[in-house]
Structure 1
Amino acid sequence: MAEVVVFGVAGEDHLWLADLKAGTVTRIDPPKQGALADADALRKAGSTVVKTVNLAAAASSADAVFGGFMDG
């Protein structure tokens, strides 16, 4: 199982690192080189980049998630 997940949210310039084992989410500095920098550039241009994640959905609040709702 993955230990961490890096994600970005449409409309935001920064990325986040979710440490699944520790249960934390941390804002990370934009990558300057390498595959993550390439993927970040693609997402900023409007692409969706997915690797070994089979569900990702934005919601307006944690209550919405626990209520079974996801933003369209």
Structure 2
Amino acid sequence: MAQVVVLGLSGSTDLWLVDFDAGTVTPVAPSGDSPLGQADSLRQAGATIVKGVDFAITASSASAVGGGFLD
């Protein structure tokens, strides 16, 4: 089974499909009437949606993560 997650960062309307098995990150444009599109509409209205992810953080850069400094 593929290990994928859809991510959206605060302050951006973009959504990204991250495929951990393939090592890829691809932009996603969900249709408005799909479940993902409905969830994206909630997100754009200010909701935070988390399902199946137990750890997520943002950092200012990849080097900040390596140095142990997290935003």
TM (normalized to structure 1)?
0.87
Q: Does 1:64 align with 2:64?
A: yes
Q: How many Å separate the matches in 1 of 2:68 and 2:2?
A: 24
Q: Paired residue for 2:27?
A: 27
**Contact 1:8 1:15 (C-alpha < 8 Å) held by counterparts:** yes
**Contact 1:14 1:30 (C-alpha < 8 Å) held by counterparts:** no
* CA spacing shift, 1:2–1:54, aligned 2, 3 Å: farther
- CA offset digits 1:38-60 (Å, max 9, x no partner): 11111111111000000111110
Identity over the aligned pairs, expressed in percent? 55
Alignment gaps of 5+ in structure 2: none
4+ long deviations beyond 3 Å: none
Q: How many Å separate the matches in 2 of 1:9 and 1:2?
A: 22
Give the number of aligned pairs: 71
Distance apart, 1:32 and its partner CA? 2.3
Q: How many Å separate the matches in 2 of 1:69 and 1:35?
A: 35
Alignment gaps of 5+ in structure 1: none
TM (normalized to structure 2)?
0.88
Q: Which amino acid aligns with 1:70?
A: L
Q: How many Å separate the matches in 2 of 1:53 and 1:19?
A: 14
Q: How does 1:1-72 map to 2 (within 5 A)?
A: 3-71=3-71
- CA-based RMSD of the aligned residues comes to 1.5
